[in-house]
Amino acid sequence: MTIQTPVLDSAPAASAPAPAPNPQSGQPVTLTRFLIEQQRRPDSPCPAGLRLLLETVARACKAINFAISKGALGDVLGSLGNENVQGEVQKKLDVIANDLLLDANEWGGQLAAMASEEMETLHPIPGRFPKGEYLLTFDPIDGSSNIDVNLSVGTIFSVLRAPDACAGRDVTEADFLQPGAEQVAAGYAIYGPQTLLVLTVGTGVYEFTLDREIGSWRLTDGPMQMPRGNREFAVNMARRRQWSPHVAQYIEERICGTEGPLGVDYNMRWPASMVADVHRIIKRGGVFLYPADSRNPGKARLRLLYEANPMAFLIEQAGGAASNGTARILDLMPTSLHERVGVILGDPAEVAAASEPQG
């Protein structure tokens, strides 16, 4: 029997140039090593502070994964009976995951503040800890209606630079209101058949799989480019009455398949978990739509800062496109922390076809 050498998440001692991460080479690359190699790149897309922050977020995701996987045995299923700021019933795990992310990220010295889908207002770094140069936003458990039925859920996160102006004062919500194009990192963990961490620091999209035996995230794919031309769309058909005529026609033509104007069949998927949809699209192609309610656009479903921006950054890095139906998501200027937007993302040709015609 061969005993495998454990791979530990510790930094290499020497400062010799490291080989480029290559999941095919047979040499395991941990998240730590990957981030250090990003830090060493001449353009340094991942300075030391950002690297430490991403490692801390990844560690919190491991703890969330552990809590989720206990299920009924850990008394973590079900709801708390109250609503979050979005008016949605909070699951126990929404709160557990939110607390795990706050606790893990408060003391490291990399952050000036955090904001979460589960909290009404921002979470400043307590005065007893040093304040850092980044802002972190997260959706602690995306797709949380899936928790109690054991389907895939995830954690989505986004990192922005704190504006220089907030160095000598308290961080305000306005400091978070930056276009998604300003993100320095974004990613998600997906708690599915495998536990994965997918992230970008603007140099491509990389996937890490949690190796439970040694507790490390190990690089398993990347840089990932989404395949083009997969005729698969993800949409909640029950919201049809809220779509614009253009979106309704886009979906109708695909449902008609070989008997319609496109002359080809499409498939539909709806796991009710944006993380699961985005991951499938990065790996297999296709398009995801959660359009704004055309009768009441402010009532869109997905959140710009916690969901749309980080996913748009990842999708663009993987060669896809992301639109709110009329404009590139990453160009939108947020007007409030919990703002909601329509989202159409994935295969650029499908995103263009589903977006409202210009002019």
> Which residues of the chain form contacts with ligand F6P (CB under 6 A)?
142-143, 236, 272-274, 290, 301-302
Give least dist CB 283 to ligand F6P, A. Answer: 17
Give least dist CB 180 to ligand F6P, A. Answer: 17
Could you give the angle at which helices 92-106 and 48-70 cross, rounded to 10 degrees?
150
Nearer to ligand F6P, 262 or 272 (CB): 272
Only one of the segments 38-46, 121-129, 131-139, 287-295 lies at the binding site for Mn ion (rule: CB under 5 A); that segment is 131-139
Nearer to Mn ion, 101 or 162 (CB): 101
Question: Do the strands 185-191 and 232-234 form a parallel or antiparallel pair, or are they unpaired?
Answer: unpaired
Question: Do the strands 111-116 and 134-142 form a parallel or antiparallel pair, or are they unpaired?
Answer: parallel
Residues binding Mn ion: number (CB under 5 A):
2
Give least dist CB 190 to ligand F6P, A. Answer: 11
CA 242/CA 291 separation, integer angstroms: 8
Tokens of 151: 């389907």
CA 72/CA 49 separation, integer angstroms: 37
The residues pairing with 153 across neighbouring beta strands, listed in sequence order, are: 191
Region 138-167 residues binding Mn ion, contact defined as CB under 5 A? 139, 142
Task: Count Cβ neighbours within 10 Å for each residue of 35-45 and write b for 16 or more, e otherwise.
Answer: bbbbbeeeeee
Give least dist CB 230 to Mn ion, A. Answer: 24
18 binding partner (options Mn ion, ligand F6P, none; Cβ < 5 to 8 Å by kind): none
The residues pairing with 230 across neighbouring beta strands, listed in sequence order, are: none
Collapse the DSSP code of 350 into the 3-class scheme (helix H, G, I; strand E, B; otherwise coil) and give the result. helix
> What does residue 101 show for φ and ψ, rounded to 5 degrees?
-70, -40
Nearer to Mn ion, 224 or 343 (CB): 343
94 binding partner (options Mn ion, ligand F6P, none; Cβ < 5 to 8 Å by kind): none
Nearer to ligand F6P, 199 or 274 (CB): 274
Nearer to Mn ion, 98 or 216 (CB): 98
Nearer to ligand F6P, 64 or 302 (CB): 302
Q: Counting every residue, how long is the chain?
A: 359
- State the residue number with the nearest CB to ligand F6P: 274
C-beta of residue 35 within 8 angstroms of C-beta of residue 51: yes
Only one of the segments 54-62, 95-103, 136-144, 237-245 lies at the binding site for Mn ion (rule: CB under 5 A); that segment is 136-144
CA 181/CA 312 separation, integer angstroms: 9
Neighbours of 144 (CB within 10 A): 24
Nearer to Mn ion, 85 or 353 (CB): 85
What letter does residue 339 receive in the DSSP assignment?
Answer: -
272 binding partner (options ligand F6P, Mn ion, none; Cβ < 5 to 8 Å by kind): ligand F6P
Give least dist CB 324 to ligand F6P, A. Answer: 15
Give least dist CB 139 to ligand F6P, A. Answer: 6
- 246 CB-contact burial (10 Å; exposed 0-12 / middle 13-18 / buried 19+): middle
Give least dist CB 269 to ligand F6P, A. Answer: 11
CA 266/CA 276 separation, integer angstroms: 19
Nearer to ligand F6P, 218 or 279 (CB): 279
Give least dist CB 142 to ligand F6P, A. Answer: 5
Binding site for Mn ion (CB under 5 A): 139, 142
